[in-house]
Amino acid sequence: MISIDSLSFDVSSLTRHKRILSDITLNVREGECFGLVGESGSGKTSILKCLAGQFKGWKGRIEVKGASIADTSLKERSNTMQMVFQDPYGALHPRHTIRKILNEPLVIKGLSNRAERVEKALKDVGLDETFLPRYPHQLSGGQRQRVAIARAMILNPSVILLDEPTSALDVSVQAEILNLLASLHRRHQLTYLMVSHDLGVIAHLCERVAVMKAGEIVEVVSREDLVEGNVTHPYTKGLLQHAFSRE
Amino acid sequence: MKNIQTLKNAPFPARERHAPGQSKGALFFKALKKLCKNPLSASGVVIVGLLLVLTIAAPMIATHDPLTQDLSRVLSAPSWAHWFGTDEYGRDIFSRVVYGSRVTLYIIFLVTIIVGPIGLMIGTMSGYFGGWVDSTFMRITDIFISFPSLVLALAFVAALGPGLEHAVIAIALTAWPPVARLARAETLTFRNADYVVAAQLQGASSFRILFHYISVMCLPSLIVRLTMNMATVILTAAALGFLGLGAQPPLPEWGAMISTGRSYMLESWWLVAFPGAAIMLVSLAFNLLGDGLRDLLDPRTD
Amino acid sequence: MNVLSVERLNVTFCTDEGDKHAVRDVSFTLNNEKLAIVGESGSGKSTVGKAILRLNSPSTRVTADTLRFKETDILTCSEREIRALRGQHISMIMQDPKFSLNPVVTVGDQIAEALRVHRRISKRQAREAAIAMLQEVSIADPEHVYGQYPHEISGGMGQRVMIAMMVIPEPDIIIADEPTSALDVSVQQDVLNILNRLIEKKNISLIFISHDLNLVKKFCDRVLVMYGGRVVESIRADELSNASHPYTRGLMESLPSLRHRRETLPVMTRDPAWLTQEPLT
């Protein structure tokens, strides 16, 4: 579904030259939930930003559903791929009502039956239509993240990019959102590419995980291997040991 | 659906600042109430409100016709018949000041509706697109900013000829660059926000993002800036009037009134004092109102 | 003798939209120990920390039957006394070193300054003490780091500098408000180890404010669990796994676990009665 082939990305300014991603190759199968785990600065979010078209000037080849990203516009990709962001406060426009936030993608696409679709999308994420006239600041963090997920789902995409979707939330709310993401994954046969720094969260949701360090993928492991400790790279071992010691 | 249950049972509903059903009018009055909490901005609101009343009801408030000359009562001091005295043609100064508010408000209104959209458009476009669009727009802005505004306005009026409309255009010409700069700075802080990225991912056009997403966020600080700007506009308009390049006689314009009254200033102080006080009061009021609006609208002071 | 005693502490934020009762009847005592205050966002845990140092904004109403540090009544003492208390006797480590270090002063000078405010010593002595302190927080090249500015050092290093700065006047209590949540997991453990070593060496009591039950379970002696501005349970840290309050249990269980993966995570149903019950001990 997503195939990334030798992706590299450099940032250079007048004074210095920095390699953000180097030679990333990975394949996400259809219907899979794939995780990217690593510490800050490891480049995990940068991969999402390349996919989402926020970074320009990367080298290599990225394909989503068989179409190269370099050859298609964001608008063409919007039916295939959507994104959920880390910060539920910044992801929703503060001066748009929930109705407008969910309506926008439908208006842009010129779709009909908007009111019904909006209500259905809200119901899908466990909110009812009383939320429609409200503004984001009147919602709790978890409710906001639900709206953000509804917005990503409303165009029925097949791929969803998840950028630390629960790290800004309280643990009890995190559990609700993780459950919601898992149930949407089952019901709609979605493909997830999820970024997180939390191995527990990644292992809960994802079947395979790529461990990243300093802009490179050091290892791709399955959930079973991760849980049983069958990892080879010392960096992964360290991360895993740390995660186990916390439980 | 266990999730839905949890949400409904949650003991802490999201903090509701204003209930969703509240009408725009109710919100307006709530904002006005908040604005009036600070005595300084409250006085700004009152004076600007009075100015509006004065403008609308000028014929009812004025005691005389502002244009009627009465040569038998030339340069008479303030009295019961003429509250602010009369000028060199025997016209009632109080009535002229009252009618002058119409001219002043007319200028402010026109300048603001020209400057606001232009500044917003240029600023948001250069902030959002960056690159050569930004460079081009900002260099043009720099050129306009690098002229002293009054001199630029003077040159413009001199080229077009004196008159109220030309004065408005000249003032607008000098007033938009700071607004554009502000809109650009605001845009830079929003253009990489997640909600803008989300809109891009949905395939929203640049125009849609600028209009529906970014402009909305720039508006509060822009309104504050424009309100503060009104004080400068009043002063520039008065200066142009004073120099004889703004409103033309016999139109009662405050700056022009001071200008003509200047020759009689030593023996008849009321000719300049009352229009001068009006200018000062109104520009002060707009500044205070701007300060109050900033406290009210600026999300950073929240 | 308790180092700090708090009895029925109440904090109310007075805003235009009405009063918000953020902390209700919180009571605890602190001896020479590591006490954790745990709760979700909005539970009032940080507000308690701030109230102890009287750092709340002026529009906040703080009341308590007792709020005493040793002999000093924190609520009624003068502005001068509270300033003397801050830093010298009670200091605070904030969440993100990026915002709590002065960006235009080198980190070494900031540590030295923290010492010179409270002790009458020469600049050279302060410098030497600061370098020794940097060494104590496991910074490999203290002389070099001394002359660096906050933006030149990493987050983990910044938090070590913060710890050095807070420990160097040898206070009696350190309040650490989520000191590691802005750091990467591998760095977190180092920072906690350093903090632990220093407070044990210098005999400092710790109030550790956190949302992370797993971390607190390992690191602290005693835990206060806060919910909706109240302490719902006070429990020894090593007994957390057998906590009796449903909220505490809910918090523990809702974390995704590597070892025992569940298809669906348990979700808490919040009981309004939690807001009125007496805390469990």
Interface A-B, measured as beta-carbon pairs within 8 A, has a size of 91
> Has residue A80 been placed in a domain?
no
Listed residue (B88, B133, B60, B115) closest to B236, CA to CA: B115
> Has residue C193 been placed in a domain?
yes
Q: Say how many domains are in chain A.
A: 2
- Tell me which chain C residues have a C-beta less than 8 angstroms from the C-beta of A185: none
B297/B300 Cα distance (integer angstroms): 9
| Residue extents of the structural domains in chain B | 55-64+78-301
At C14, the pLDDT band (50, 70, 90 cuts) reads confident
Which tokens sit at A70? 């370099």
The answer to whether residue A128 neighbours chain B at the CB level (below 8 Å) is: yes
For B2, nearest residue in chain C (alpha carbons)? C267
Asked if residue A243 and residue A183 are part of one domain, the reply reads yes
% pLDDT > 90, chain A: 55
pLDDT beyond 60 at B9: no
**DSSP secondary structure string for all residues of B43-73:** HHHHHHHHHHHHHHTHHHH-SS-TT---GGG
A58/A23 Cα distance (integer angstroms): 11
Count the neighbouring beta carbons within 10 Å of the beta carbon of residue B165.
Answer: 12
- Which pLDDT value is given to residue B302? 42
pLDDT beyond 60 at B13: no
Rg of chain B's alpha carbons, rounded to an integer? 24
Asked if residue A241 and residue A163 are part of one domain, the reply reads yes
Q: How far is C250 from chain A (nearest CA, A)?
A: 7
Q: What is the ipTM of this complex?
A: 0.90
For A183, nearest residue in chain C (alpha carbons)? C264
Residue C86 DSSP symbol: B
Q: How far is B1 from chain C (nearest CA, A)?
A: 11
At C116, the pLDDT band (50, 70, 90 cuts) reads confident
> Has residue A76 been placed in a domain?
no
Cβ A143–B7 below 8 Å, yes or no?
yes
Question: Tell me, what amino acid is at C95?
Answer: Q
Asked if residue A172 and residue A137 are part of one domain, the reply reads no
C16/C252 Cα distance (integer angstroms): 37
For C219, nearest residue in chain A (alpha carbons)? A246
Q: How far is C185 from chain B (nearest CA, A)?
A: 25
For A178, nearest residue in chain B (alpha carbons)? B3
C21/C33 Cα distance (integer angstroms): 29
The answer to whether residue B298 neighbours chain A at the CB level (below 8 Å) is: no
Residue A208 DSSP symbol: E
- Which pLDDT value is given to residue C183? 82
- Which pLDDT value is given to residue B22? 59
- Which pLDDT value is given to residue B163? 84
The average pLDDT across A207-214 equals: 92
A241/A229 Cα distance (integer angstroms): 9
pLDDT in tens, A235-246: 999 888 888 887
pLDDT beyond 50 at A19: yes
A144/A184 Cα distance (integer angstroms): 17
pLDDT beyond 80 at A84: yes
- Tell me which chain A residues have a C-beta less than 8 angstroms from the C-beta of B10: 140
Listed residue (C265, C91, C93) closest to C178, CA to CA: C93
At C208, the pLDDT band (50, 70, 90 cuts) reads very high
% pLDDT > 90, chain C: 26
> Has residue C78 been placed in a domain?
yes
Cβ B10–C272 below 8 Å, yes or no?
no
B169/B176 Cα distance (integer angstroms): 11
The average pLDDT across B100-109 equals: 90
Strand partners, A4: A26, A62
Question: Tell me, what amino acid is at B5?
Answer: Q
Peptide bond into B13 cis (omega under 30): no
Which tokens sit at B256? 């022009």
- Tell me which chain A residues have a C-beta less than 8 angstroms from the C-beta of C261: 203-204, 223, 227
Q: Please list, in sequence order, all residues whose beta carbon lies within 8 angstroms of the beta carbon of residue A68, skipping any fewer than 6 positions away.
A: A61, A62
Query: By CB neighbour count within 10 A (0-12 exposed, 13-18 middle, 19+ buried), where does B132 fall?
Result: exposed
For B23, nearest residue in chain A (alpha carbons)? A133
pLDDT in tens, B22-34: 567 777 888 888 8
Q: A147 with C229: CB under 8 angstroms?
A: no
Q: How far is B24 from chain C (nearest CA, A)?
A: 18
- Tell me which chain A residues have a C-beta less than 8 angstroms from the C-beta of C211: 170-171
**DSSP secondary structure string for all residues of A78-113:** TTTEEEE-S-TTTSS-TTS-HHHHHHHHHHHHT-S-
Q: How far is B287 from chain C (nearest CA, A)?
A: 24
Q: Say how many domains are in chain C.
A: 1
Question: Tell me, what amino acid is at A179?
Answer: N
Which tokens sit at A230? 């069958």
- Which pLDDT value is given to residue A106? 94
- Which pLDDT value is given to residue A160? 94
Detail the DSSP E strand segments found in A38-186. Answer: 59-64, 67-68, 81-84, 159-163
Q: Which residue has the higher pLDDT, C17 or C226?
A: C226
Count the neighbouring beta carbons within 10 Å of the beta carbon of residue B90.
Answer: 17
B235/B139 Cα distance (integer angstroms): 27
For B16, nearest residue in chain C (alpha carbons)? C17
The CB-side HSE value for A136 (13 A sphere, CA atoms) comes to: 21
> Has residue C151 been placed in a domain?
yes
C133/C208 Cα distance (integer angstroms): 21
- Which pLDDT value is given to residue B1? 39
> Has residue A109 been placed in a domain?
yes
In a mutagenesis test of the C interface, which of B7, B9, B22, B302 is the best target, namely the one with the most C β-carbons within 10 Å? B9
- The contact set of C with A (CB < 8 A) is 40-41, 155, 184-186, 189, 211, 213-215, 218, 250-251, 254-259, 261, 263-268
The average pLDDT across B262-276 equals: 89
The domain that holds A24 is classified in CATH as 3.40.50.300
The answer to whether residue A75 neighbours chain B at the CB level (below 8 Å) is: yes
- Which pLDDT value is given to residue A247? 74
Give the total residue count for chain B: 302
Asked if residue A170 and residue A135 are part of one domain, the reply reads no
Q: Which residue has the higher pLDDT, C244 or C16?
A: C244
- Which pLDDT value is given to residue C1? 64
Least confident of B270-284, B288-302, C56-70: B288-302
Q: Which residue has the higher pLDDT, A16 or B92?
A: B92
pLDDT beyond 70 at A80: yes
pLDDT beyond 90 at B179: yes
- Tell me which chain A residues have a C-beta less than 8 angstroms from the C-beta of B201: 52-53, 74, 77-78, 81-83
Listed residue (B244, B267, B161) closest to B258, CA to CA: B244
Give the total residue count for chain C: 281
Asked if residue A230 and residue A162 are part of one domain, the reply reads yes
Cβ B195–A92 below 8 Å, yes or no?
yes
- Which pLDDT value is given to residue A218? 92
- Tell me which chain B residues have a C-beta less than 8 angstroms from the C-beta of C274: 11
Q: Measured in Å, how far apart are chain C's first and last C-alpha atoms?
A: 21
Q: In which domain, by residue range, is C205 found?
A: 4-275
For A151, nearest residue in chain B (alpha carbons)? B198
- Tell me which chain B residues have a C-beta less than 8 angstroms from the C-beta of A127: 4, 7
% pLDDT > 70, chain B: 91
Q: C199 with C214: CB under 8 angstroms?
A: no
- Tell me which chain B residues have a C-beta less than 8 angstroms from the C-beta of A174: none
* E strand or H helix at A26: strand A17-28
CB-nearest partner of B17 from C17, C228, C272: C17
Asked if residue A49 and residue A20 are part of one domain, the reply reads yes
C229/B12 Cα distance (integer angstroms): 12
Cβ B20–A83 below 8 Å, yes or no?
no
Cβ A175–C255 below 8 Å, yes or no?
yes
Q: B103 with B97: CB under 8 angstroms?
A: no
Q: Please list, in sequence order, all residues whose beta carbon lies within 8 angstroms of the beta carbon of residue A23, skipping any fewer than 6 positions away.
A: A6, A7, A8, A60, A216
Chain B: list its partners (3+ Cβ pairs within 8 Å).
A, C
The average pLDDT across C70-88 equals: 86
> Has residue C164 been placed in a domain?
yes
Distance between alpha carbon A138 and the CA centroid of its chain, in Å? 25
Cβ A85–B194 below 8 Å, yes or no?
yes
Distance between alpha carbon B93 and the CA centroid of its chain, in Å? 25
Q: pTM, whole model, 2 decimals? A: 0.85
Least confident of A95-109, B63-77, B94-108, B180-194: B63-77
Q: B60 with B52: CB under 8 angstroms?
A: no
At B298, the pLDDT band (50, 70, 90 cuts) reads low
Choose which CATH entry (3.30.420.40, 2.40.30.10, 1.10.3720.10, 3.90.226.10) describes domain B55-64+78-301. Answer: 1.10.3720.10
Q: How far is C230 from chain A (nearest CA, A)?
A: 17
B222/B40 Cα distance (integer angstroms): 21
Detail the DSSP E strand segments found in A29-158. Answer: 33-37, 59-64, 67-68, 81-84
Cβ A227–C261 below 8 Å, yes or no?
yes
Q: B104 with B236: CB under 8 angstroms?
A: no
B36/A184 Cα distance (integer angstroms): 50
Pairing of strands C60-63, C66-69: unpaired
Is the dihedral angle over the CA atoms A177, A179, A185, A187 positive or is it negative?
A: negative
For B220, nearest residue in chain A (alpha carbons)? A95
For B33, nearest residue in chain C (alpha carbons)? C16
The answer to whether residue C44 neighbours chain B at the CB level (below 8 Å) is: no
pLDDT beyond 80 at B4: no
The average pLDDT across C162-189 equals: 87
Q: In which domain, by residue range, is A101 found?
A: 93-156
The answer to whether residue C265 neighbours chain B at the CB level (below 8 Å) is: no
A26/C51 Cα distance (integer angstroms): 51
The average pLDDT across A92-105 equals: 92
pLDDT beyond 60 at B2: no
> Has residue C138 been placed in a domain?
yes
Distances (CA, A) of C129 to A244, B68, B244, C77, C109: 38, 86, 73, 31, 11
- Which pLDDT value is given to residue C114? 86
Is C69 strand, coil or helix?
strand
The average pLDDT across A200-204 equals: 90
Cβ B202–A87 below 8 Å, yes or no?
no
Compute the mean pLDDT over every residue in chain A, rounded to the nearest whole number: 90
Question: Tell me, what amino acid is at B268?
Answer: S
Place of tokens 């991360």: A239
Asked if residue A44 and residue A166 are part of one domain, the reply reads yes
Q: How far is C215 from chain A (nearest CA, A)?
A: 7
- Which pLDDT value is given to residue B10? 40
- Which pLDDT value is given to residue C226? 93
- Which pLDDT value is given to residue B299? 52
The average pLDDT across C214-224 equals: 90
The average pLDDT across C10-23 equals: 85
Q: How far is C74 from chain A (nearest CA, A)?
A: 32
Cβ B6–C16 below 8 Å, yes or no?
no
The answer to whether residue B15 neighbours chain A at the CB level (below 8 Å) is: yes
Query: By CB neighbour count within 10 A (0-12 exposed, 13-18 middle, 19+ buried), where does A16 fall?
Result: exposed
Q: A146 with A177: CB under 8 angstroms?
A: yes
Is A36 strand, coil or helix?
strand
Q: Please list, in sequence order, all residues whose beta carbon lies within 8 angstroms of the beta carbon of residue B232, skipping any fewer than 6 positions away.
A: B175, B283
In a mutagenesis test of the C interface, which of A169, A184, A185, A246 is the best target, namely the one with the most C β-carbons within 10 Å? A246
**DSSP secondary structure string for all residues of C159-183:** HHHHHHHHHTT--SEEEEESTTTTS
- Tell me which chain C residues have a C-beta less than 8 angstroms from the C-beta of B9: 269-270
Count the neighbouring beta carbons within 10 Å of the beta carbon of residue C152.
Answer: 12
Contacts 24+ apart (CB under 8 A), B126-130: B126/B180, B126/B184, B126/B187, B127/B183, B127/B184, B127/B185, B127/B186, B127/B187, B127/B188, B127/B191, B127/B214, B128/B187, B128/B191, B128/B206, B128/B209, B128/B210, B128/B214, B129/B206
Asked if residue A167 and residue A145 are part of one domain, the reply reads no
The answer to whether residue A195 neighbours chain B at the CB level (below 8 Å) is: no
Q: B228 with B290: CB under 8 angstroms?
A: yes
The answer to whether residue B131 neighbours chain A at the CB level (below 8 Å) is: no
Pairing of strands C222-227, C34-38: parallel
> Has residue C81 been placed in a domain?
yes
Q: A194 with A178: CB under 8 angstroms?
A: no
The domain that holds C24 is classified in CATH as 3.40.50.300
The average pLDDT across B187-204 equals: 92
pLDDT in tens, A118-168: 999 999 999 988 999 999 988 989 999 999 999 999 999 999 999 999 988
The average pLDDT across B65-82 equals: 85
Distances (CA, A) of A224 to A185, A209, A231: 19, 10, 10
The answer to whether residue B6 neighbours chain A at the CB level (below 8 Å) is: yes
pLDDT beyond 90 at C222: yes
At B147, the pLDDT band (50, 70, 90 cuts) reads confident
pLDDT in tens, C176-194: 998 888 888 778 888 899 8
Strand partners, C176: C93, C208
Q: C147 with C106: CB under 8 angstroms?
A: yes
At C40, the pLDDT band (50, 70, 90 cuts) reads confident
Cβ B201–A82 below 8 Å, yes or no?
yes
C54/C64 Cα distance (integer angstroms): 12
- Most confident residue range from A24-33, B287-296, C256-265: A24-33
Chain A: list its partners (3+ Cβ pairs within 8 Å).
B, C
- Which pLDDT value is given to residue B17? 42
In a mutagenesis test of the C interface, which of B2, B27, B302 is the best target, namely the one with the most C β-carbons within 10 Å? B2
